[in-house]
Amino acid sequence: MRRHRNVKIVATLGPASSEYDTIRALFEAGADVFRLNMSHGSHADHKARYDAIRKVEADLGRPIAILADLQGPKLRVGVFDGDEAELTEGQKFRFDLDDAPGDAARVQLPHPEIFAALEPGSQLLVNDGKIRLKVEDCGKDFANCVVTVGGTISNRKGVNVPDVVLPLAALSDKDRDDLEFACELGVDWLALSFVQRPEDMDEARKLAKGRAAVLAKIEKPAAVRAFPEILAVSDGIMVARGDLGVELPVQSVPPIQKRLVRQCRAAAKPVIVATQMLESMIESPVPTRAEVSDVANAIYEGADAVMLSAESAAGQYPIEAVQTMDHVARSVETDTTYREVIEASRKADRNTVADGIVAAAREIAETTDIQAICAHTQSGTTVSLVARERPRTPIIAMSPIPTVLRRLCLTWGTHCVATEPLSRFREAVITAARAARDFEFADETQQIVVTAGVPFNTSGTTNILRVATCDERLISRADPE
């Protein structure tokens, strides 16, 4: 089963997409990665979905990536007498640690860490920014505010603090339990929420112990400011535009998205653009034109993946949502403007032999009649470097390690194929030629580029590039035992 596009599709599973038949239909419609949202559902629910995904993988013989998205600490107000209160612009309002029910003058904010970080002039946003307050005076257990945008405030609504770096760990106790559960289950990727600084990634990586790759969700202004440092210690990135749009002016999110995607591409690390991509398809079988343009723009920017959240997890049209993304991607990627944009934004420092090999592979593939770049890899690094080049020619990622192939399912342009461990370069060429033929990238009369490393089955040794025919008889003559 070959995808006729390069960008990958991440589909979130939930009540609307928990059964084997639906998950298989989502994969066949175009989903490459399935997201388990640890904010919702029990461990038993997620295990059942995981098992169904792995059964689809076994039945169809194609690697599938699974991403577990950790919830992160949730900051919420307390409860109100009567469940809610009305705040008006210009009025005074107080947050404190008193657990007595709130009213129109005050409410509990059971997070002393917030009070420790606040300063006069800081903003507090409630209920996704629908209510906004400005701090006038604060201490270790209170904040006296003035309401700048009023509305109805009700029990346990979420609170955002965009102006300060909060002294909170990105992993809550629940997240630690979820992380261990997900790693034991065998997920391929972990997404860490509430990242503010590079140090936030340290604990997650330490707890994962290499069992899963860890990506940082960029959803706070502090993370945008520290992005180069966060990127350096992350295996990938998710641009979570929903929360960014709450804590930052909405007009600043598109340029931030473009900037972060380009930096990820330069670093050869996969980047997912997420949140509200086809939101109307939760209830409608067709998206709005604005949503289609939003998805298309992420693809034009060169994002590795675009993500569906509630559209596939709880919506009425999960399969149609995946099909829509697939159709948009195919349309964009066949547009001549797409190649112009992608190639004009190609920027990478090339300092290693592997960098030179993959750059040469792209140049050869694009200037001669080459049907695919076949990259043998032990860790996935070589394939990531090939994908960074964003070649016009398809990429076949080849490895004997299932976990490497599954993680690469998130990487732009990769068609992942399982191989046996190699002992000589002729085996590498023959295996690549067979894969190119089997998946209809080339026929016996056509050529491919093969990259590999000697010694074989060792990470970080990519040092050979070969242009080869897909006719095994000619390979045998050229490379005798």
Active centre residues (catalytic): 35, 76, 217, 275
* The dihedral sign for the CA sequence 29, 341, 385, 227: negative
* Separation in Å, CA 420 to CA 165, 318, 398, 401, 427: 48, 36, 9, 9, 10
CA atoms within 13 A on the CB side of 408: 33
Cβ-proximal residues to 125 (8 Å cutoff; 6+ apart), any chain: 131, 132, 133, 159, 160, 161, 162, 246, 247
Q: DSSP assignment of 136-147, as one string?
A: EEEETTEEEEEE
Among residues 235, 239, 229, the alpha carbon closest in space to that of 187 is found at 235
Distance CA 214, CA 230 (A): 11
Is the Cβ–Cβ distance between 196 and 226 less than 8 Å? yes
Is the Cβ–Cβ distance between 366 and 345 less than 8 Å? no
Distance CA 442, CA 434 (A): 9
Record the tokens describing residue 434, joined without a space.
């067979």
Cβ-proximal residues to 414 (8 Å cutoff; 6+ apart), any chain: 383, 387, 395, 396, 397, 408
- The C-alpha torsion from 218 through 223 and 227 to 231, rounded to 10°, is -60
Among residues 6, 62, 18, the alpha carbon closest in space to that of 326 is found at 6
How far is the first Cα of the chain from the last one, in angstroms, to the nearest whole number? 33
CA 11 to chain centre: 11
Coil vs helix vs strand at 131: strand
Distance CA 397, CA 405 (A): 7
Distance CA 77, CA 95 (A): 8
